[in-house]
Structure formats: C-alpha cells, structure tokens
Structure 1
C-alpha cells in the first residue's frame, strides 16, 4: 500500500538505485568492504580502540554499522510468506487490506508520539528540529491517509499482537530513553522498507508493484546520519543503539510475518 509518507517524508524513507550506489549497501560491497561483525571487531577494537564514530579504514559510521549489524533480519523479512506472495503477485487481497489497516494505525500512533517528542525535547536544537520535521512529515501523510480511507481516527482498529508490541516498544523508548534513542527507533522502518522494495523482484504487471515503486526511492541518511554520528560516540551508547535498532527491526519482521501465516499462504489452485 503505502509507505507512511508525504512528499517530504519520501526523502526520509526511500532509497533508489542512485542512493544504493552512494551508500554502497549492496551485498557485493559488504563483501568488498569487510563490514561484518568480525571486521568491526578488528577495526574498532584492535586498530582503533578509541574510535566509535567513523572508522578510518573502511569509512563505516554508526548509521551504516547499525544496518550492517542487523542485515540478517532484513534478509529473513524478505523471505516471509506475505512478501513472497506479494512478489509472486498472488497475495490474497484481504491479507493486504488487513496489513494496510495495521499500517495506518502505526502511522497515526507514531505521529502522536512524534508530537509528544516535539513538546518534550527542546534541546539539543538539532534533535528538536529532527522531531519537528518528522512530525510535520508524518502528520501530513497521516491526515491524507485518513481522508483517503474516510477515517476520522484509528481508535476502532483492532491492533494485532505484533503491532501492539511494536507500538509498546516505541512508547517505552520515548518514555525511558534519551531522545537520540527515539531517533534510532524510527530508523529501522525508514531503511528496511526501502531495502525490501529494492529487493522484491516485481514487474509493473504485478498487482503489488505500486508498493514496490512507492518505497524504492529516498534518502533517509539526510535526516538520520549526522545526528547518530554526533550523539552516539561511546561503546555503551553504540551498544544500546544497536540493541534498540535490532529490537525495532525484529518488530518490523514480526509485522510482515504476522500479516500472512505460512499455513494461510495463498492457495495454488489448479485451473
């Protein structure tokens, strides 16, 4: 369906081929750059024991470290029945509609949290500005989406267990962690949906090609990269950020996985 974004938010959430080239996030580059866990250990603990920001050997910064450290979840998410059936073009429409409804609830609930963060976080100025920009972007798209579905609110939507946990984890991070970790919590969605869209093998003839097209371009690094590299500078901070990032990546995985259980996968009826 949608990607939680208006025109401004498209820049946040999507990455096209040009960006993939710029960020070198393809599997081939990962091999060339040796940015797996073993190399990070060698680079940051042996050669650069005090370096937690940017590695002078491979150029891997926190923004990219968080992604490469948790790429395994992205790969597992791509294999869930919901996305595989989307890729084949035979996902039953009712499952897609249910997924979309949960997605709308997510959009509205996270918009409300961003509003709270705007009111709560006044300093540092750059983090306040980040929250304000994300709120304006999410809010614009939330209003457009509710209007599209003729909804006044999402109060009557019954959340799935996966979505309840996802939103609960957001709330805990918002209430219990420093604001920079809420920034971290938002990032998995921004990067994962783009990565999934670019890895789904679909043609324009596919009924779900619109989802791929809407989510396949963007530049989330414009919003996140500088902040993460500025405020996550110690081993403890990076460890905590990675834990939150992985938790939210897993929540994304569960959202997609719960949208179509294996036993409910589209039937392959004989003609």
Structure 2
C-alpha cells in the first residue's frame, strides 16, 4: 500500500516543486519583487513630498490671484492686499530662520544655510517695506490664512529639529518657479515685471533646500511622516494664502 503524502499536503507540494524548472522562475519573480520594493523605498524624500502635495499645488495655480496675474486682470487693490501681507510673511519667516540658526549648534552646514537664507529674506522684506511704506509690521493685520501660515513656520522653528524648517520653507521655494512654468506665455499686463521677478520659471534655488532634506533622510536624521506633515501644511499655506485674496 502506498504510504506517500497526500497530494493535497503542502509538504508534498513543496517536495514535488523542487523538481520543476518553474520554481526557479518563481524565485526570480520574488527577487525582482523585492528589488522593486527596495527601489520604490529609495525614492528621494524631496520627490516624495512634492508628489504627495499636487492637490494644493493645483489649488495655488487655479487661485484667482495667480490666474489674475497670468491674465493681467487682477484687481490692483487685491494685489496690494497680498503684497502687504507677503511683506510681513517674509519678515516673520526671517525671524523663524534666525531662531532656527540659533538652535542649530551641531551642524555648521545647516546653520549657515539658515543664516544665508535669513539674510536673503531680510533684504526682500526690507525692499517690500520700502515699496509699500511699512514702518511697523505689527501694525499690519494679517488675514487668517497668512496668520496660520506664519504661525506654522514659527512653531516648526521653535519646537522641532532644525531640519524641519528647511522642509517647511521648501514648498514656497519650489512652488513659485513651478507656477511660473505653468503660466508662462500669459498676458500679464501691468503685472509683467512682478511676475518675471517672482514667478521665475527655471529658477533652481529650491534644490539647495532639497539637498539638505535628502541628506538628512539618507542619514536617518528625519522622519518621513513628520516631514510630510510639515511640508503639507506649508503647501496648503501657500494655496490658502493665494486663495484668500478676493479678486472681485
């Protein structure tokens, strides 16, 4: 009487599969699957963050402010309302950068980045203060969207590891040249000079931010989950700030 294992037995199946060439194929497919997973896992953090926030990028592009700039139809009062708030936003971002620089004591590269970027923000907000006759930023009442955005940057600068402020500032640095690329060829009208100076298609300054983010990720010095939360809030802040401007 036959005493072999039941053909329905997993053990029997394993024993018999060893004799078949397709086992090699199965093993190869498994190896390819593992390698594919590993490659996906190695997607740069900067790329992952950008690809995860396309909804707010589109919202920023479709906002009345950006489309009004593109078509040259934006109400001048709406433009002025945005610019006065943006001046204070840049002022507050400068202060957040200074805070992060002071808190960064063991990373000279990151500290220098904060110091250099703070200087650039200072030059820009001082220029805006001169243009819009702003003497005391405390006298400017920000809308709730801009207030929420600057408070987000402040919270990141004061409560989180310094690298997260780089994450928080990257959406602004990357979104604006992207917007410039999307609205390129528009009939900007009186806003042409401003658009050419601010929505600069092809500007790559944001890559310096992304290098720091990706280096931190490779060193295991940043949480992807926390980075996405910070990045998403900033990208939403950009979209909501643009969207807050009443164009009619």
Q: Of residues 90, 93, 110 in structure 2, which corresponds to 1:110?
A: 93
1:132 aligns with 2:118: no
Deviations 1:233-268 (A, max 9, x none): 4597112111211111001110000012xxxx44xx
How far residue 152 of structure 1 moved from its aligned partner, in angstroms, is: 2.5
CA distance in 1, matches of 2:68, 2:39: 46
Partners of 2:39 and 2:221 lie apart in 1 by: 9
| Structure of greater relative contact order (alpha carbons < 8 Å, 6+ residues apart) | 1
Relative to the length of structure 2, the TM-score reads 0.78
Please give the alpha-carbon distance, in whole angstroms, between the structure 2 residues aligned to 1:189 and 1:207: 24
> Aligned match of 2:176 in 193, 197, 200?
193
State how far apart, in whole Å, the 1-side matches of 2:36 and 2:112 are: 36
Aligned residue for 2:204, secondary structure, equals: coil
Report the equivalent of 2:232: 246
1:47 matches 2:28: no
Corresponding residue for residue 81 of structure 2? 98
* Number of residue pairs matched by the alignment: 214
Taking the aligned partners of 2:244 and 2:126, their CA distance within structure 1 comes to 26
Partner Cα separation in structure 1 for residue 168 and residue 36 of structure 2: 30
2:9 maps to which residue? none
- Whose radius of gyration is greater, 1 or 2? 2
> Cα deviation per residue 1:175-231 (whole Å; 9 max; x = unaligned)?
221111111000010011111122115446622222321121421244212211111
Classify 1:174/1:144 alpha carbon distance in 2 versus 1 (closer, same or farther; 3 Å).
same
Distance 2:190 2:110 in 1: 39
With over 3 angstroms needed to count, the CA separation of the structure-2 counterparts of 1:205 and 1:163, relative to structure 1, is: closer
Structure 1 contact 88–202 (Cα < 8 Å) conserved: no
Query: 1 CA distance for matches of 2:33 and 2:206?
Result: 22
Deviation at 1:87, TM superposition (A): 2.1
Q: Distance in 1 between matches of 2:157 and 2:180?
A: 28
CA RMSD of aligned residues (A): 2.5
Shift of 1:77: 1.5
Which residue in 2 is equivalent to 1:219?
A: 204
Partner of 1:228: 213
Cα offset for 1:150? 3.1
Q: Note if contact 1:62-1:229 (Cα within 8 Å) is conserved in structure 2.
A: yes
Give unpaired runs (5+ residues) of structure 1. 1-42, 267-271
- Tell me the distance in 2 between the aligned counterparts of 1:203 and 1:212: 10
Q: Say if 1:133 and 1:205 are closer, same or farther in 2 by CA, change over 3 A.
A: closer
1:171 match: secondary structure: helix
**How do residues 28-67 of structure 1 correspond to structure 2 at under 5 angstroms?**
47-49=36-38, 52=41, 55=42, 60-67=43-50
- Given candidates 192, 210, 223, the residue that maps to 1:237 is 223
Could you tell me which runs of 5 or more consecutive residues in structure 2 were left unpaired when the two chains were aligned.
Answer: 1-31
Structure 1 residue 153: Cα displacement: 2.7
> Is 1:256 aligned to 2:238, yes or no?
no
Equivalent residues in 2 for 1:158-197 (5 A)? 158-197=141-180
